[in-house]
Structure 1
Amino acid sequence: MKTQRRGRILISVAALGAAGMVMAGCSGGPGTGGGGDGDGGDDDMVVTVYGTISDTEAELLEESWADWEEENGIDIEYEASKEFEAQIAVRAQGGNAPDLAIFPQPGLLADMATRGFLVPAPEAVAQNVAEYWSEDWAGYGTVDGTLYGAPLMASVKGWIWYSPSVFADNGWEIPVSWDELIDLTAQIQSDTGNPPWCIGFGSDAATGWPGTDWIEDIVLRQSGTEVYDGWVANEVPFTDPQIKSAFDEFGKIALDPNYVNAGYGGLDTIVTTSFGDPATALVNGDCVLHHQASFYDGFIVDAGGNVAEDGDIWAFITPGFGGGGAEGAVVTGGGEIVGAFDDSESTQKVQEYLSSPEWANSRVSLGGVISANKGLDPQNASSDILKEAIGILQDDATTFRFDASDLMPSAVGAGTFWKGMVDWVNGTPTDTVLEQIESGWPSS
């Protein structure tokens, strides 16, 4: 997701749906959940949770709340789906909604709240959000002035992964500006005779999202927060020259066959390469550079690499643009928001726990993920890169912007934008792609 995405933090680590679906047992209209129907029966002690987080990550998620379940006598039944973005609306419309959903896109949560399917967050959740989350993060769960959801996990995007030893052996230096990054790309290609970058857009139904992350990083760094915020609100359309400029800058890398796709083939392999696969190419030395969020640490470890400043693989944040662009501690990121379809007591208790520092520390201590919860101890993170990412999120000087595609209406962010990135790297002219993406915006 964006697994969010993992979530997107894994929007898209959701590659295989979890076996053994637990379907909500009670039907009803909008705003009605499945497990907790408020009738005082046994189902009140079962809370169903639906999301994109799958496989090992789902196992760790369930482990993170296991002790709390036992202490509170509530059974949390988690169900993962790689079709979450489409199915959550179908289930809500059919009266088969879960009690809680882990939304990898605030824009999708806003869609569901606006349509009347979600219930406002209870006071205990609102208090946790006010105490432990920044105003920006609180805003991502707020729709028309009402808080509907609390943040869960988070990621810092825009990391560029590389091998410190390979850089040292070749005398390559970490770039401090976007122009230096482009110059470094040319230097690596010249020195090795091979493409420096490996890029994978593949992610099942979410194919294309890694490309949106690139564009978002460039828009924020090149044009600044005002343009970025206007873009999210469609006050700055995709057809605006400032957005086209971001595509042009990314194109200096992604559309140059001399620069991609290391370890996989030509430009045509960008779409067919799963977003997780380049971790293996990095560890094997088949590619030198890869752009991906902080959660990629876990993929590199799974591929047999050691992530450390003096280890096999390390990362630096995508550098900014000189002159009038956004500079300093300015980053994009992702995460999930937990929203409720019913207001039973047990559902509210689970929602409160998931918004707390107790849960954040429990999950982060199990490894592989981070949170923007201010009550999180960075030392619980499983790697140095994740500790750095937590430091960025908790630093009051940081300007953080949530992944733009996740904030846009799902028809754009999880629709025409994803598809547009696929068409673009497959050769469709930029102007045509931008017009097609813009056409996805709802008319009202």
Structure 2
Amino acid sequence: MSAPGSGPATAAPGTRRRPSRHLVRVIAVVASCLAVLAAAVVVGVRALGQEPTVTLLANWTGGDAGHFRDAVIAPFEHEHHIHVDYQGSSAESQVLSADVEAGTPPDVVVLTGPGELADYAGRGQLFPVEDLVPEGAFGTSWATPLHGHVYWFPLKADVKSIVWYPGRTGDRQLRQAGGRPDQWCLGMGSGATSGWPGTDWVEDILLQQSGPGIYQRWARGLLPWQSKEVERAWRTWGELVGAGKSPDLVARALKTEYQDASQLVARRPRQCTLEHQASFVRAYQPWKDAHGSYKPSSELIPGAAARNTWEVSGDLVALLHDTPQARQLIRHLASTDAQRAWNAEESGFSVHTGAQPTAGSDGSWHRSLAGTLLDPEAVHCFDASDAMPPPVRDAFAQATIDFLADPRHLDDLLKNLDSLSSNEELTWVPSVCDRRT
């Protein structure tokens, strides 16, 4: 209330004076100017370097990138007053390589491959992060020591040793479908990284047929590609998906992008029944519509002898610039809160010991897969191609495409992979499985 005798005359009791049109215009103009000024101040502060900035490169785009910004990055920026300059790219390996070559790498990177990160660590491009990660938060298969230090840890994880199928499909139907190449949904396309769905197949078959000991030796470059175990895995995959047998079927697999393979389930009549794919595929609409369920791949892979043994993958965080703001971001990404926030929308799973996931919107499968990743009695082996040095990884992916088109060249493909793997300058990850084998 104004003091008596000050300001304009008051309105009659019970009424409210409407501000003049001129006053409304003045207020609107002032408000607009203040908004512009506030935005300019923010831009100016960042431009002058008064607000610390940390650059982050990852492979998430679209909805995943939006969720990552909202659930993980925004709380960090609000709490620490550090701006995160995020770049998402589906070709992040190529982007990172070019940035490193130009001398302008990001401060923090999230990559799927420990093999690629080991290569950067071997060249002195990464900084240790063991003092930034809570002790005991991650197992050694996820935060693998290298040269006496830990250079990466997972932000999200997925299970790969699984086969998806439409709900209410009986066991007999599944076994019958598993023996028919046309019933496997397979898409080999993925831009610059095409072929990786084939590497997942070969890796998982080797793991389930020959066990984690053989798998780990091979993933570390200690078992030849021309060994009987590895060759058997390739030929088993060829028989399952019809490599070289049906031109139409092979053409379908080679022309289909991996993320579109599940679309074949939704067609009428249905074009396939089974998909060997990581746990993230359950979020795809065709599998949601089909009430997708899954079985361990060991139940459908011929000659599988391993039990409770799983191929897994993860998005791994690493530090390229040791700045205070980058270290603060690393601490945040390794925290229980950030790990739990990223998992809240079922974009993936956390293997952080303190970030147990909630049931989610589809509790049964979500709890089951989360339990598989955290099961202390299970054997978890990291995706072998992701753990291999980049030149070997890339040649492996290309070889699966060549083999699918014409399996008669398998001997030459394996011989070439052995030749590449023998390069003594390559850096191999010391372990990929979380239990000694």
TM-score, length of structure 1 as denominator length: 0.78
Distance 2:301 2:91 in 1: 41
1:182-228 CA-to-partner distances (Å, cap 9, x unmatched) read x5534xx5xxxx92112111000000000000111111111111111
Q: Aligned Cα RMSD in Å? A: 2.4
Distance 2:321 2:302 in 1: 50
Larger radius of gyration between Structure 1 and Structure 2: 2
Percentage identity across paired residues of the two chains: 26
Does the 8 A contact of 2:298 with 2:304 survive in 1? no
The 3 A distance-change label for structure 1 pair 322 and 256 is closer
The 3 A distance-change label for structure 1 pair 396 and 443 is same
Does the 8 A contact of 2:51 with 2:83 survive in 1? no
1:234 aligns with 2:234: no
How far did residue 173 of structure 1 move?
A: 5.4
Q: Which moved more, 1:58-67 or 1:371-380?
A: 371-380
Does the 8 A contact of 2:203 with 2:383 survive in 1? yes
1:157 aligns with 2:160: yes
Q: Which amino acid aligns with 2:156?
A: M
Does the 8 A contact of 1:207 with 1:271 survive in 2? no
The equivalent position to 1:404 in structure 2, one of 379, 384, 398, is 384
The 3 A distance-change label for structure 1 pair 439 and 385 is farther
Paired residue total: 372
The equivalent position to 1:131 in structure 2, one of 119, 130, 136, is 136
Distance 1:395 1:43 in 2: 46
Distance 1:325 1:405 in 2: 20
SS at match of 1:49: strand
How far did residue 63 of structure 1 move?
A: 1.3
1:287 counterpart residue number: 272
Does the 8 A contact of 1:103 with 1:338 survive in 2? yes
The equivalent position to 2:237 in structure 1, one of 227, 246, 250, is 250
How far did residue 440 of structure 1 move?
A: 2.5
How far did residue 242 of structure 1 move?
A: 0.6
1:271 counterpart residue number: 254
2:126 counterpart residue number: 118
Q: Which moved more, 1:106-115 or 1:46-55?
A: 46-55
Does the 8 A contact of 1:238 with 1:437 survive in 2? yes
1:312 counterpart residue number: 291
Distance 1:115 1:221 in 2: 34
SS at match of 2:316: strand
How far did residue 158 of structure 1 move?
A: 2.0
SS at match of 2:392: helix
1:195 counterpart residue number: 182
2:357 counterpart residue number: 378
1:96 counterpart residue number: 104
2:67 counterpart residue number: 60
How far did residue 380 of structure 1 move?
A: 5.1
How far did residue 42 of structure 1 move?
A: 2.4
1:145 aligns with 2:130: no
Q: Which amino acid aligns with 1:214?
A: W
How far did residue 351 of structure 1 move?
A: 0.5
How far did residue 152 of structure 1 move?
A: 1.2
SS at match of 1:172: helix
2:282 counterpart residue number: 297
The equivalent position to 2:178 in structure 1, one of 185, 200, 205, is 185
1:388 counterpart residue number: 368
How far did residue 268 of structure 1 move?
A: 2.0
Q: Which amino acid aligns with 1:147?
A: V
TM-score, length of structure 2 as denominator length: 0.79
Unaligned ranges ≥5, structure 2: 1-47, 425-437
1:440 aligns with 2:413: no
How far did residue 286 of structure 1 move?
A: 2.3
The 3 A distance-change label for structure 1 pair 435 and 138 is same
SS at match of 1:136: coil
The 3 A distance-change label for structure 1 pair 102 and 153 is same
Does the 8 A contact of 1:161 with 1:315 survive in 2? yes
The equivalent position to 1:346 in structure 2, one of 306, 317, 325, is 325
Distance 1:364 1:322 in 2: 30
Q: Which amino acid aligns with 2:83?
A: D
Q: Which amino acid aligns with 1:145?
A: G
How far did residue 135 of structure 1 move?
A: 2.4
Q: Which amino acid aligns with 1:172?
A: R
Q: Which amino acid aligns with 1:157?
A: K
Does the 8 A contact of 1:64 with 1:362 survive in 2? yes
